Amino acid sequence: MRDDLRLDGVGRRYGLRGPWILRGVDLAIRPGTLTRVEGANGTGKSTLLRLLARVDAPTEGRVTGRPRTAYVPERFPAALPFTAVGYLTHLGAVHGLSRPAAARAAGEWLERFGAAAYAATPMTALSKGSSQKVAVAQALLAAPELLVLDEAWTGLDAGTRAELERAVAERIAGGGAVVFVDHDPHRLAGAPDTTYTVRDGALERRTAQDSPTPSGPHVLVEAQGPPDGRLPVAGHPGVTSAEEIVPGTHRLAVRASHSDVVLRVLLTARPPWHVARVSADPVDADARRAAHGSGPDRPGHDQESPR
């Protein structure tokens, strides 16, 4: 993203005399950040996302910056006369890839989301969840500078939901910006750099105290670095805690969605770190939350609650 995407005093209403959906919105999206937008139904979250994706022009105020953008709608219609891979190849080309590169990326992303079997299926024959996978794949094909997700997780199965969280973490690690709306408060919990709430047509920045403590599944990583080496992932949004258990060996608690990204940073550091051990976190997320003090209660104490 060459420059930030900025909204200055932006307002939007539909029609000449329609009510203001949003008014006086100031917002900047910086590269490499994750932004969450919250709000009750019908408060204008989707309108805000449409303004950020620049598919809607503001009625007043100014939007500046034009990153390469991809958008995922909450419901993706299957009424398109293409096969899944045919549609994705067209969209990849629209996103700026060459056709061979677009076809390759289409195959890869369908495979990542477990939809490779539907690649040659006409879009009209896809189930709701499978067409949502196509919508998500479409957005990730060309590694966009800005990814806008409007309840993109709706209708996806558990495996694909986790895969999409990982893809979001990768996109941010790759320098892209991601803005998302989701009604599940645990979606990418703790990872967003900024959380905004849309209320009465205005945007409120959530303060740190309101943010839920990091929760959700974690992975333990033990890594060995050079003596006196600085941990290359210190302060990384995916790393919840880090301790030096013996000199030169660190044990990290890493958000499951960010484990691949963190491992990649460790392995590609200069000099590279040695990953000695990766294991599931025996300390349950609930226990961590208890250790951190307060946090939203979740049903199902010992097992991970269904999302």
Partner 1 sequence: MTALIRYQAALLVRSQRWLPPFILYAAFLAVGVQSGQPVLDSVGYAAAALLPVAAWLVRICVGGEPPAARTCVAAAAGPARAHLACLFVALAAAVVLGTAATVVVTLISDPAGTDHRTRVPMLQAGGAGLLAALVCALLGTAVGAVTNRPVLRSTGRAVPVMLLAALLSMVTTGSPAQAAVSGLVTGSRTGRVPLPLLPLAGAAVLAAVAIAASCALTARRSP
Among the listed ranges 78-86, 186-194, 246-254, 273-281, the one in contact with partner 1 (CB under 8 A) is 78-86
Would you count residue 62 as binding partner 1 (CB under 8 A)? Answer: no
Would you count residue 85 as binding partner 1 (CB under 8 A)? Answer: no
Per DSSP (E only), the strands in the chain are 5-13, 20-29, 34-38, 60-64, 69-72, 146-150, 177-181, 194-199, 202-205, 218-224, 239-246, 249-255, 274-280
CB nearer to partner 1: pick between 56 and 304? 56
Contact call for residues 134 and 89 (beta carbons, < 8 A):
no
Strand partners, 5: 29
Interface mask (CB under 8 A) for partner 1, residues 121-140, using x and -? --------------x--xx-
* Among 76, 109, 196, 273, contact with partner 1 (rule: CB under 8 A): 76
Among the listed ranges 75-83, 173-181, 284-292, 294-302, the one in contact with partner 1 (CB under 8 A) is 75-83
CB nearer to partner 1: pick between 92 and 214? 92
Quick one: tokens of 263?
């491992």
- CA angle at residue 239 from 235 to 242, to 5 degrees? 85
* Among 61, 82, 104, 194, contact with partner 1 (rule: CB under 8 A): 82
Would you count residue 56 as binding partner 1 (CB under 8 A)? Answer: yes
Question: For the chain, how far is it from start to end, CA to CA, in angstroms?
Answer: 32
CB nearer to partner 1: pick between 135 and 252? 135
Instruction: Give Cα separations from 167 to 53, 156, 258 (angstroms).
Output: 19, 14, 9
Distance (Å, whole) CA 93 – CA 15: 34
* Among 3, 26, 62, 77, contact with partner 1 (rule: CB under 8 A): 77
Binding site residues, partner 1, CB under 8 A: 14-15, 50, 53-57, 59, 68-73, 75-77, 79-82, 90-91, 93-96, 135, 138-139, 142, 144, 148
